[in-house]
Amino acid sequence: MRKASVFVLLLVLAGCQGRVREPEILWDRWGVPHIFAADIEGLLAAFGYAQAESHADLILRLYGQARGRAAEYWGERYLESDEWVRTMGVPGLAAEWWKVQSGDMRAGLAAFAAGINQYACERPDAVSEQAHRVLPVEPTDILAHLVRVVHFNFVTRPHLIGAERSRWEAGGSNAWAVAPARAAGGHAMLVANPHLPWSDLYTWYEAQLTGAGIDAYGATLVGFPILAIAFNDYLGWSHTVNTYDGADLYELELEGEAYRWGGGRKALEREEHVLKVRRPDGSFEERKLVVRRSVHGPIIGFRRGKALALRVAGLDAPLIAEQYWDMLRARNLKEFEAALRRLQIPMFTVMYADRDGRILHFFGGRTPVRPQGDWNFWQRPVRGDSPATLWTRTHGYDELPKVLDPPSGWLQNANDPPWTTTFPEALRAEDFPAYMAPRSMSFRAQRSARMLDEDTSISFEELIAYKHSTRMELADRILDELLEAARRYGGPRARRGAEILARWDRAAEADSRGAVLFERFVREWRRRSEKTGLFREPWSEAEPRTTPRGLASPQEAAAALEAAVEATEKELGAAEIAWGEVYRFRGGPHDLPANGGPGDLGIFRVVDFEGGKAVGGDSYVAVIEFSRPVRARALLSYGNASQTGSKHAFDQLPLLARKELRPVWRTRAEIEANLERRQVVRLTVAP
């Protein structure tokens, strides 16, 4: 008998004393749960149950890590994760947050945990034995997971902890809002398009929640108890990772177990943790972890008599789930802004549109009110020996950048600073503190703005087509000069490469021949130009959409193309090869030619590859028109399940390869016409 049987028995006994809810889950043929319930307990209990059915092993692994006990459950490879979680104080913070949740949200979080537990109770053989070690799930596990993901992954920028840097750099997002005046159909439209790695804590889950005053459709990160990107009949929003700084490093001068502070010395706070580590034979060993803290925050490193302390904003804002709940309930801009004003979500751009035709871009987050310095000053460790550099409060809603209903009729964000959200510019960086956000505009953001600005009457179908654009803005900017440089300064291979690139469509479609060579040229060009620079004219605030431009060294560019042709022929057998022959969408039974590519080439449809296989980028996509009724299409690139044996793991890859979105079904008639199965779940929630 499985070791989890004791857990199952305990749950059964506990269920005799709980309240019973019987929500209905309608599973459509893409594995999306449409949940109908009478109250928040039934709704979130069913949401937890549905997430467990689709992702039980993943959720339990993530919750185990959020507890800081993953090495105890699964071995030494998780020890670094546990040390990070314990050093940041995540479990204790989750316990404090639990105490201040409102009554309804406490009930909802408890119900979400109960739903996960009940699934594991009813289907013990569907959950791996390793995952069973985490059970039962407690409501504080949900909050710990929120804190770990949002504050100690997104806010802290994982380059601060080294090992996660490459995964962070794969992330990003696009978001658009189009006003009725710019829309062919006369209705506001919204594009939600986060780009994240296709695994682990970045995995999206798609669902509909109906009941308790909401009827919302969207997606959230696995293990989250509420939708994070969503729409209803009245409005919708998306997020991008904004150019926000909510975490700072302070360099401390140490004197034994103290540090210099305000002209004197201050003792470091010290606490000891004992971490259990599971050995391969199932036995355990213990490791001691000493955590030290200064007034700034936890110490994350020591070197030559100095220490680095990490200060993170938003840890005093415990009502993230409640704010999202209020956003889901909102029916107009006034109600939506009332929720945003609470600033419980510590970061992220909010891109908004509604059926009244209003559009909004809000640079969200708990931005610290810093006593000095500009953006660059705070990107490196600052002196931590005086209160003069210590921030203690954050900006309010009215102090943060936002654009409402711009004359252009459109808003965009592609992880660029808020100043370039629309043109003519509606924000001036000079009107905000110099540390608020950097001043720049990437090639992807320039491509984003170009597509919106060049079409004065955008249809719903055109919006979908633009979202899938693989045109490379960087190629449009430099290719003509590169061809001339290759013909003038290059050898035989460079001239052959120029002929290939001259025939190329400047896109990363599956059948684009020349895209592979251009990508490899760019890599080589950047490597060779680290000291001299790439462009003749750097990016300029005066010309944000047409700079940088010009080759700094045509001769160096020609040499880079020569080397790229040689390397591509050696690696792939030919320099003129289709993009989709090299880059693939692989998962489950599928191995399909890919389209899309790295955002730094100025491609709007971002797809990130490792070893030729797509591993990130375009993940959840939704395009919404706020007509009556609302019209929407969506896609979850890797499917809505990861659990072993699920037919919905990677079942949407063929649509991704064809650049198609699925219709979104929201009414009962639509759902039942596309029904895979109906489930009435008898769920027991805490008394």
Q: Given phi > 0 = left and psi -120 to 50 = alpha, else beta, which region is 601?
A: alpha
Check residue 171 and give its pLDDT. Answer: 54
d(CA 544, CA 474): 14
pLDDT digits (tens, 9 = 90+) for 261-286: 999 999 999 999 999 999 999 999 99
Residue 489 φ/ψ, nearest 5 degrees: -115, -15
d(CA 433, CA 367): 11
Q: Which residue has the tokens 């042709």?
A: 565
HSE-up of residue 537 (Cα within 13 Å, Cβ side): 13
User: Which of 380, 391, 384, 419 has the alpha carbon at shortest distance from 403?
Assistant: 419
Check residue 168 and give its pLDDT. Answer: 36
d(CA 439, CA 541): 7
Check residue 17 and give its pLDDT. Answer: 55
Check: CB of residue 414 under 8 Å from CB of residue 467.
Answer: no
Region 500-529: what's the mean pLDDT?
A: 97
SS3 call for 330: coil
E-strand spans in 161-316? 172-178, 189-197, 204-211, 214-221, 229-231, 235-240, 247-255, 258-261, 264-267, 269-278, 284-293, 299-303, 306-312
pLDDT digits (tens, 9 = 90+) for 78-119: 999 999 999 999 999 999 999 999 999 999 999 999 999 999
pLDDT over 70 for what percent of the chain?
A: 95
Cα dihedral 575, 578, 583, 589 in deg (nearest 10)? -140
Check: CB of residue 473 under 8 Å from CB of residue 602.
Answer: yes
Check residue 450 and give its pLDDT. Answer: 98
Cα 78 to Cα 22, 151, 158, 301, 407: the distances in Å are 38, 19, 16, 19, 51
pLDDT digits (tens, 9 = 90+) for 333-370: 999 999 999 999 999 999 999 999 999 999 999 999 99
Q: Which residue has the tokens 């007509």?
A: 627
| Structure token digits, residue 255 | 């004197």
pLDDT digits (tens, 9 = 90+) for 304-342: 899 999 999 999 999 999 999 999 999 999 999 999 999
Check residue 663 and give its pLDDT. Answer: 98
